[in-house]
Amino acid sequence: MTTTYNIKVVSQTNAIIIIFLSLAIFMGGIFIYFPHGIHNEGLSILLVAISFTIVYFLWQTFVTAKTQWTINDDGIYMTWIKQFAFTHNDDITIKWNEIESISRGLDPNYYNLKIKLISGQTIRFYHDTLTTRDDFQEFLKALNNKHK
């Protein structure tokens, strides 16, 4: 039986860069354009709303990628639908007999899916469980049922 799941994955490196860059630009802009502070409450709220909107779109562009995972009796197949900005990754095929273990890494903000291969290589995928709505939970159940 073949089952397909659409899953968003995130890049932790890109996330850290976007967060620090966004904070620096926001704070720098405030100090440059409003050196004595913002005295208009409406303008403050507008600037914060615009900043969060910009950060959200930067996050979607640079931090998240879309993948499609297929699980069948032969193994796991991962296809990139939308890759991280400025990257090119090949699709991944992993046969069940190549997998030593499947586990979760120790990261409090992301689900860190770790697939350790018999060859010693570990493949990691990060999934944002707080803001992403996709097939990830169903995928994990299917993955655990197939690989026991």
pLDDT in tens, the chain (148 residues): 789 999 988 887 777 777 777 777 777 666 666 666 667 667 767 777 787 788 888 888 888 899 999 999 999 999 999 998 888 899 999 999 999 999 887 666 678 889 999 999 999 898 876 666 788 889 988 888 877 6
Q: 70 and 135, same structural domain? A: yes
Domain boundary (61, 81, 101) is at: 61
Q: 142 and 114, same structural domain? A: yes
* Count of helices and strands (H, E) across the chain: 3, 7
Print burial letters for 91-115: b (CB count within 10 Å at least 16), e (below 16). Answer: ebebeeeebeebeeeeeeebbbbeb
- Give alpha helix (H) positions in 12-131: 12-33, 41-62
Q: 73 and 57, same structural domain? A: no
Q: 74 and 53, same structural domain? A: no
Torsion of CA 42, 48, 49, 50, to 10 degrees: 110
| Domain extent for 105 | 3-10+65-146
Q: 69 and 56, same structural domain? A: no
Q: 93 and 56, same structural domain? A: no
CA angle 140, 145, 146 (to 5 degrees): 100
Say which CATH number the domain at 94 has: 2.30.29.30
Q: Look at the chain and report how many structural domains it folds into.
A: 2
Q: 118 and 74, same structural domain? A: yes
Q: 101 and 76, same structural domain? A: yes
